[in-house]
Chains A and B, each alone.
Chain A
C-alpha cells in the first residue's frame, strides 16, 4: 500500500504502528466499496470520451475529486477550454474548505507537513468517517491518513480499471450503487448527538432540496450547510440564554 512510506511514525510508536494502520483500513473499507462503482463509471465515460488510460490515471492522482472529474470528462468531450474546466473545478471543490475548517479542531498544533499531506485526501467521504472517529474514539491522525490514502488508492485503481474493462461489467450489480448513500445515512446517524443536531440536519435537508431544485450547479452543499448551521447555532445560543 502506498501509505507506508508516507507515514513514518516516531520510533516510540513502533509497537502501535500495525494497529493504527489496520484501524485506518477497517474504517475506510465502506468508502472503498462505494468508490469502486463510481470510479469505474468515471473510467468508462473517460474512455468513451477519448481519454487514454494514462490520462485517467494522471487525473485521479493529481485531482482526486470525483464530481470534478466527471465534470471534467463531460467538458473535455464538449470541447471546453482548460481554464473554464479549472474554474469549474474550483467552484465544485470549494465545499472542502468548510470540511477542512471543521477538521482543524482535531489537529491542534500538528506540524505543517503532516497537515499538507493529510489535506490532499480530504473528500466528502473521508471527512465524514474521520470526524465520526475523532468524536467517538481517541482516533489517531495516522489512522486518519490511512483512511484518506487507502480511499485514494482504491479510487485510482477503480478509475483505471473502469477505463480498461468497465464496459464489460453490468450496471448496478449487487446494489453497489447504493453503497455511498447508505454510508452517508449511517455517518449522519453518528453525527446526531442531540436535538440541536437533529434540527440542523432537518433544516439542511429542506434548504438543500429547495436550493438544488431552484439553482443549477453544486452550490447547494455549501449553501444549505452554512445556512442551516447558522440557524442551528442561533437557536442553540438563544436557548442557552433563556
Chain B
C-alpha cells in the first residue's frame, strides 16, 4: 500500500472512531438531563466493565464457548478479593499479574 492509501484508510477509521466519542459529550454536556437518563447512565459504568470482563473470564475464543476452568477466572477470584480489601488500582494490577504469572507456571 502507498502512503496516500494508508492515509485515506486511517483518516477514515479515525473519523468514525472520533465521532461516537465526541458527539454525545458535546451534545449532552450543554443540556439538562432528565432524571431517568441520569439514573440509567449511572448504571452504565458497572455494566460496561462487567460486559468487558465476563467473556474474558467465562468463555473461550475459538470457537466461542462457555468455560469455567480458565486460569483467567481462577486468578480473578483472589484478585477481586484483593481489590475489595485494598481498593488500590495499582496494587490490584500487580497482584493479578503475579498470580497469573504463577498460574502460567503451574498449569
Contact = CB atoms under 8 A, between A and B. Distances in A.
Interface centre among B13, B90, B97, B101 (most CB of A within 10 A): B13
Interface string A207-233: 111001100100011001110111011
A153 interface: no
Given A58-B10, A97-B21, A119-B25, A209 B66 contact: yes
Interface string A178-191: 11011111111111
Interface in B37-76: 38-59, 64-66, 72, 75-76
Contact of B58 (A120, A190, A209, A233): A209
Contact of A58 (B7, B12, B99): B7
A120 B54 contact: no
Contacts of B20: 90, 93-97, 100
A64 B48 CA distance: 19
Contact of A225 (B24, B47, B96): B47
Contacts, number: 282
If over half of A's interface residues share one DSSP class (helix, strand or loop), that class is named, otherwise mixed; here it is helix
A237 B43 CA distance: 13
Nearest to B58: A209
Given A82-B12, A213-B66, A183 B93 contact: yes
If over half of B's interface residues share one DSSP class (helix, strand or loop), that class is named, otherwise mixed; here it is helix
Interface in A46-70: 55, 58-59, 62-65, 68
B15 to A, nearest CB: 8
Interface residues of B, number: 74
Nearest to B40: A233
B43 A187 contact: no
A191 B49 contact: yes
B13 A107 contact: no
B55 A188 contact: no
A201 B66 CA distance: 18
Interface string A101-140: 1111101111010011011101010011101100000000
Of all A-B residue pairs in the complex, the 10 with the closest CB atoms, nearest first, are A182-B96, A175-B101, A104-B28, A178-B100, A119-B22, A62-B14, A90-B16, A175-B97, A205-B54, A175-B100
Interface of B: 1, 5-14, 16-18, 20-30, 33, 36, 38-59, 64-66, 72, 75-76, 79-80, 83-84, 87-90, 92-93, 95-102, 104
17 contacts: A30-B93, A62-B10, A89-B12, A90-B20, A93-B21, A96-B20, A99-B21, A119-B25, A179-B93, A182-B79, A182-B92, A184-B53, A185-B83, A187-B49, A191-B45, A208-B50, A228-B51
